Amino acid sequence: MKQACVPTEAEFKRLVAVVGQGRHGARNRAVLMISYLAGLRVGEIASLQWIDLLDGEGRVREQLRLSAAATKGGHARVVFMNARLRREIEQFRASLSVAPDLRLPVLVTQKRTAFSANTLCQLMRGWYDQAGLDGGSSHSGRRWFITRLAHAGISPKAIMMLAGHRHLSTTQRYIDVNDEMMRAAVEIL
């Protein structure tokens, strides 16, 4: 099975611009950023409730805890959210007409129901088509997240834990390598 593409920096910027347009631009941008900046799977994103992202005083949390039921492998994990992602979540929350109920899903459809992972997956696939990015899918953000960490020199064990993988070999399959990266690698010698 072919892996989801990992967008270049220019392609990522184009994707963000496309996603942020339209009636649901703020929601869609939040979904995209959670995928790219936290490396969550589409099912994990669809399962998020406001209580996962906001504390009791309405502040965006620095980390969230995914329950075992929400993860693919059935193992709970902590997800750290960097300052950029916390700002994105805050902007999404500010775009809402009413303050969110902490017990409700973060992402709701036009019919005011929670997104299923499948529906969210289809929505995300459409964004890549709109942006003209061949091979993009709901897994592209996760691959981008893992690839960027690996190329930044982050410990493979840390990446594995952040991704929620049980085996390093699984994490390694996510790392994308292109000519630009290989060229930069040999230049450090």
First to last CA, the chain: 35
Confidence of residue 86 (pLDDT cuts 50, 70, 90): very high
In a domain, 163, yes or no: yes
Please give the pLDDT value at position 19. Answer: 96
Query: What is the chain's length?
Result: 189
Confidence of residue 98 (pLDDT cuts 50, 70, 90): confident
Distance between CA atoms of 172 and 174, rounded to whole angstroms? 5
Residue 94's domain comprises 9-187
Residue 170 clears pLDDT 60, i.e. is over it: yes
Q: State the residue for tokens 């099975």.
A: 1
In a domain, 123, yes or no: yes
Task: CATH number of the domain at 82, please.
Answer: 1.10.443.10
Is pLDDT larger for residue 75 or for residue 106? 106
Is pLDDT larger for residue 71 or for residue 90? 90
Q: Is 109 exposed, middle or buried (0-12, 13-18, 19+ CB in 10 A)?
A: middle
Kindly report, residue by residue over 146-165, the tens digit of the pLDDT. 999 998 889 999 999 999 88
Residues 94 and 82: beta-carbon distance below 8 Å: no
